[in-house]
Amino acid sequence: MDIIPEPDGPLEEEDIFTSAPLRLTVDLGALAENWRDMDRRSGKARAAAVVKADAYGMGIEDAGEALYRAGARDFFVASVDEGVTLRHYAPDARIFVLAGIWPGTERRFFQNDLVPVVSSEEQLAFWMAVLADYGDYPCVLHVDTGFNRLGLGMEEALALVDDVSRPASFAPVLVMSHLACADDPQSPMNKEQLNLFRQVAAAYEGIDASLSASAGIFLGEDYHFDVTRPGITLYGGQAVNGMANPMRPVASAQARIVQIRHVKAGQSVSYGRALRLERDSRLAVVAAGYADGYMRSQSNGGVPLRQVVPKPGQGFVAGHRVPVAGRITMDLTIFDITDVPEHDVKAGDYVELFGHNIPVDEAAEAAGTIGYEMLTHLGLRYARAYIEE
Report the percentage of the chain scoring pLDDT > 70: 96
DSSP-derived letter for residue 60 is H
Last residue of a domain, one of 235, 261, 283: 235
CA-CA-CA-CA torsion sign (241, 242, 246, 248): positive
* Same domain flag for 170 and 302: no
109: helix, coil or strand?
helix
- For 167-190, what is the mean pLDDT? 94
DSSP-derived letter for residue 144 is -
Whether residue 3 is contained in a domain is answered as: no
* Same domain flag for 62 and 184: yes
pLDDT at position 107 is 92
* Same domain flag for 62 and 124: yes
**164 has pLDDT over 90:** no
For residue 100, give the CATH number of its domain.
3.20.20.10
**166 has pLDDT over 80:** no
pTM of the model: 0.93
d(CA 74, CA 93): 6
- For 298-303, what is the mean pLDDT? 95
Catalytic residue positions, numbered: 52, 271
Q: Are 283 and 269 in contact (CB under 8 A)?
A: yes
Q: List, for residues 87-131, the tens digit of each pLDDT value.
A: 999 999 999 999 999 999 999 999 999 999 999 999 999 999 998
pLDDT at position 254 is 98
- For 156-171, what is the mean pLDDT? 83
For residue 260, give the CATH number of its domain.
2.40.37.10
**143 has pLDDT over 90:** yes
pLDDT at position 167 is 73
- For 29-54, what is the mean pLDDT? 98
User: In sequence order, which residues have a C-beta less than 8 Å from that of residue 129 and are 6 or more positions away?
Assistant: none
* Same domain flag for 199 and 331: no
Sorting pLDDT into bands at 50, 70 and 90, what band is 8?
A: low
- For 52-81, what is the mean pLDDT? 98
Please report, for residues 102, 264, 314, 365, the alpha-carbon distance to residue 275 in angstroms, rounded to integers and kept in the order given: 51, 13, 15, 20
Domain that holds residue 373: 251-387
- Planar angle of CA 81, 73, 110, nearest 5 degrees: 40
What is the domain count for the chain? 2
- For 304-329, what is the mean pLDDT? 96
* Same domain flag for 224 and 260: no
Sorting pLDDT into bands at 50, 70 and 90, what band is 21?
A: very high
Which amino acid type is present at position 18? T
* Same domain flag for 306 and 359: yes
User: In sequence order, which residues have a C-beta less than 8 Å from that of residue 71 and are 6 or more positions away?
Assistant: 35, 36, 39
Q: List, for residues 249-299, the tens digit of each pLDDT value.
A: 999 999 999 999 999 999 999 999 999 999 999 999 999 999 999 999 999
Q: Are 337 and 322 in contact (CB under 8 A)?
A: yes
